Amino acid sequence: MVDDSPLEQLALREILTGHGYRVGSATDGRQGYELATLTRPDLILLDVLMDGMDGFAVCRLLKANIVTAPIPVIFLTGLRSEGERIEGLTVGAVDFVVKPFSAGELLARIGIHLRLARPHAAALDEPPDGPGDSGSDEVLAAAAQRHIDHNLDEALHLDELARRVGSYREKLSRAFLLRRGMTVFAYIRQQRIASGAAMLRDTDAGIAEIAQAVGFSNAGNFATAFRERMGLTPGAYRKEERANACTRKA
């Protein structure tokens, strides 16, 4: 459990140990992430509003790390808005329990998610094999990459992106360049163009609609960036792709 309130920690520990669970605890996000990587628990109870690295940032790092990605995360928080609950699930949590909660509800949810996680438990018992890297630079780059890919329509500023993955701009920039071979902004531009190309190819959405969906302020900026990278205007690219598709079908 990761919670910066000693009283909350005490209450949770009494509930959990009273029902046979072994509990490790951390009082801030960074400590919680490091504890999870070392002990690989069966489940993580994670507060959201904490000083320093908040719970959403912790969860992004956990899900970007091949060692901790399979571990189910349940957010325990006083946040109540639909948008905050959606964000919690989007960053990789399996559940979102709002404080104050009953011991019965919490124990039921823990039991459900432990049972659901059992088919994947073997992955936690053995060191990961195959391709992958759980080093701090790789985890940071992967967490940022995942957040970018899911939020292309946002105005993604480097300081805010770094905060959302529990880091700061200089460290994130260095890690991303080292592990991805390009700057954060180059990756954002690349993914926006790639996503725009897919929408041009696979949908009937208008150019302005596509531009907004992939994070450009207007259709003109999208068209200029698209032509620089793809060598065609968005309209010409769509026409060419559909002609090619007709040829393949014929």
Q: What is the DSSP string of 145-198?
A: HHHHHH-TTS---HHHHHHHTTS-HHHHHHHHHHHHSS-HHHHHHHHHHHHHHH
84 inside domain: yes
> In this structure, are 13 and 121 located in the same domain?
yes
Q: How many residues in the chain?
A: 250
* Assigned domain for 1 exists: no
Domain co-membership, 95 together with 191: no
Residue 132: the pLDDT is 46
66 and 149 together in one domain: no
**28 in the same domain as 104:** yes
pLDDT value of position 51: 87
Q: What is the pLDDT of residue 125?
A: 53
Same domain, 91 and 147: no
Q: Are residues 15 and 41 in the same domain?
A: yes
- What is the residue range of 167's domain? 136-181
Count of beta carbons in the 10 Å neighbourhood of residue 156: 18
pLDDT score for 129: 44
Look at residue 220 and tell me if it is in a domain: yes
Token pair, residue 59, equals 């969860």
The pLDDT of residue 169 is 94
Check residue 158 and give its pLDDT: 94
User: Cβ(63)–Cβ(92) under 8 Å?
Assistant: yes
Report the pLDDT value the prediction gives residue 245, as an integer from 0 to 100.
83
Structural domain total, the chain: 3
pLDDT at res. 122: 52
Q: Please check whether residues 18 and 79 belong to one and the same domain.
A: yes
146 and 91 assigned to the same domain: no
Looking at residue 238, which CATH number applies to its domain? Answer: 1.10.10.60
Q: What is the pTM of this model?
A: 0.82
Does residue 131 form part of some domain?
A: no
Q: Are residues 176 and 193 in the same domain?
A: no
Instruction: Give every residue of the chain whose pLDDT is below 70, as ranges.
Output: 119-134, 250
CB atoms within 10 A of CB 1: 23
| The two structure tokens encoding residue 195 | 């996503």
Nearest to 118 by CA among 181, 71, 152, 62: 71
The structure tokens listed for 99 are 């404080």
Specify the 3-state DSSP secondary structure of 143: helix
Instruction: State whether 10 and 59 are in the same domain.
Output: yes
User: Which residues are registered as beta bridge partners of 96?
Assistant: 75
What's the pLDDT score for residue 37?
Answer: 94
The CB density around residue 174, as the number of other CB atoms within 10 Å, is: 14
